[in-house]
Every structure is written in C-alpha cells, then in structure tokens.
Amino acid sequence: MKTVLVTGGAGFIGTNFVRWVLGHTDAAVVVLDKLTYAGNAHSLDDLPADRVRLVVGDICDAPLVDSLVGQADAVVHFAAESHNDNSLLDPSPFVTTNLVGTYTLLEAVRRHGTRYHHISTDEVYGDLELDDPARFTEATQYNPSSPYSSTKAGSDLLVRAWVRSFGVKATISNCSNNYGPYQHIEKFIPRQITNVLSGRRPKLYGTGANVRDWIHVDDHNAAVWTILTRGRIGETYLIGADGEKNNREVIEEILRLLGRPADAYDLVADRPGHDLRYAIDSTKLRTELGWAPQYRSFSEGLAATITWYEAHEAWWHDAKAATEAKYAQQGQ
C-alpha cells in the first residue's frame, strides 16, 4: 500500500497508528481529522512532511471524503466521538460522527473500490459480570449500554451491511481499552497519571471494582496493520492482550510506579450505567493471523506510558485545568 487515509489520525489511537505505519512500512499517510478537542495537530508536528499530510475536515463532508478516498489505497477509520461521559451529557455528536460519518466513508469506498478497515470497541458487547469466566468473542451478541457504544455498534452493522449488500472490501476490529502516549487526559489512565504529576490526587469511580481489559496502543496498532494487510474480507477480529485489571488496581499501580503511597487517591461518585467488566478473547486474531502483543505485561506498558507523560508535560499541561474543572462540576 502506497497511501493510507487515516481518519481521526490526530487523535490518540490514530496518531499512534500514523507513527506505527511510518516506523514499520514505506507507506505515506493522509490524515483526515476535524480537530475537535480530542484531536491535536501538534501530535503530528515532528513527522516527515513528505510522508504525512494533515487535512482538517469532517468525515461527514461527502465531497471531501470522496476526493481523499479516491487518492488512497486503503482507509483506516479511527475517527469517532468516544468518551462515555460526554455521550451521556449530549448524545447528538455521537450519532452524527459515528453513524453518519461511517456511512459517508462507506459510500466513498464503495464508489472507488478502496480497501476499508473499521476500528470499533469491545463496548458494543455490553458488559460481563465480575465473577463471569467468559470473555467476548467475535460471536458475542451486541448489547451496548451507552449512547457512545450504541452508535459504535450501529456503525459496525453498517459496515457489515455494506460488505454483504455492495461487496465493500472491509474488515472490522473490536479492541479492548487502549492506553499509551498522546491519549487525552480526560481518559482514565492519563487523567490519573497527570493528576499525580500536577499535584492532584487520583480519582476512582465508585469502589473501583469495574474491570477493563487493557492493551498498549502500539500492540493495538500492530494488530490493525496485520488485519488490514492479511485479514479476510468481511471478517471481524477482536484485539486484546489479556490485560484485565480493575480500576483500583490500575490507580494503585500508577501510584506505585510514581513512588506514591498506594492509597493516595479519592473515591468519587460512580458513572451512570458504568459497565462492570470487559474481557477480550483474541484467539482468532492470534491463530489465524499470527499476531501477539509485544508488551509482556500491563505494568511494563504502563511504566512506558508514565515515562512519556513525564517527558511531555507541554503536550498536556494547558488542557489539564479545564479537564479537571469539567469533572469537578460533575462531582468526579
């Protein structure tokens, strides 16, 4: 592939995907990003101009999308409204971006016959009981519980319909929770890291029993490229790194790695409808395509992430006060 169009390529996972592609392939990348609060053009500043081009625009802009898709060998669709708390306050941007935006891209790749990979989330499956030994698989029934996850579920179903009805050359991946560099500090792990680094106490929803299946963003993106280049058209692949941790364990590990007492955090009101547990079974991806995570443990990846935030305070500092003010208004 000579040119890959990456939607949402100035956001967290998209930025890291662009960097992964540049570091592991010879492909050039065109980034299409609306640069909402979650996108940051500075995340791409140090990348070579002869291989990366940023186009500021909306994935719902059909003429723009069509022109960019027509110049690409493949499209990787990361762009999404993705914060659960925000979706509970105002679902409308989630419906527009996640559903209408995906439809716009699908129509463009349909016209041009372009390879398309769709990035989704394990949240489309709902949640599991804390004591349930089961994990999500590609056959798990969808059961979304928030405006965010329901619009992502809807976008997945659009992709499946366009594959079956129109022969679009598409694959889907549903991934567990990502962490790593360039993640907006409203998200759980970077929020707690930057709380400690800026002299604030970390905040834990409820009792901290909720479990997430964590994966370093570089491992996720290596899997995405594997699926894009070797996956079977029309298939869905789940991406996970066997990283189940409850939120209390995550906060305590952050504090330990930063040399703070393990109990130096505050409990805050739980999130409405807070899913209990996510867990991914990535057997299909590992056995069929040979992918495996490179980070050997959650602690290893978390330590690398903390080091990045310590070294890049200029990237997150200006957004910190506003982010914490917003959470304070919500009692969180």
- Please give the pLDDT value at position 86: 86
Determine contact, residues 30/71, Cβ cutoff 8 Å. yes
User: Which of the four pLDDT bands, split at 50, 70 and 90, describes residue 10?
Assistant: very high
- pLDDT at 231 > cutoff 90: yes
Determine contact, residues 102/156, Cβ cutoff 8 Å. no
Average pLDDT, the chain: 96
Segment 221-227 mean pLDDT? 98
- Please give the pLDDT value at position 232: 98
Decide if 123 is catalytic.
Answer: yes
- Please give the pLDDT value at position 275: 86
pLDDT per residue over 143-170, tens digit each? 999 999 999 999 999 999 999 999 999 9
Residue given tokens 């029934």 in the structure block = 141
User: Which of the four pLDDT bands, split at 50, 70 and 90, describes residue 12?
Assistant: very high
- Facing residues of 12 across strands? none
Q: Indicate the residue type of 152.
A: K
Please pick, among 33, 122, 127, 324, the residue that the annotation labels catalytic: 122
Q: What's the token pair of residue 232?
A: 């079977």
Helix or strand (DSSP H, E) at 329: helix 313-329
Please pick, among 103, 148, 179, 278, the residue that the annotation labels catalytic: 148
Decide if 219 is catalytic.
Answer: no
Segment 300-326 mean pLDDT? 95
- Please give the pLDDT value at position 178: 97
- Please give the pLDDT value at position 273: 77
- Please give the pLDDT value at position 187: 92
pLDDT per residue over 76-124, tens digit each? 999 999 878 789 899 999 999 999 999 999 999 999 999 999 999 999 9
**Is 3-184+214-243+275-296 a domain of CATH 3.30.420.40?**
no
User: Which of the four pLDDT bands, split at 50, 70 and 90, describes residue 270?
Assistant: confident
- Please give the pLDDT value at position 332: 75
Decide if 324 is catalytic.
Answer: no
Cα separation, 152 vs 94, in Å, equals 9
Q: What percentage of the chain exceeds 70 in pLDDT?
A: 100
Please pick, among 123, 186, 275, 324, the residue that the annotation labels catalytic: 123
Segment 235-252 mean pLDDT? 97
Q: At what angle do helices 188-197 and 313-329 cross, to 10 degrees?
A: 110
For strand 170-175 and strand 115-121, is the pairing parallel, antiparallel, or unpaired?
Answer: parallel
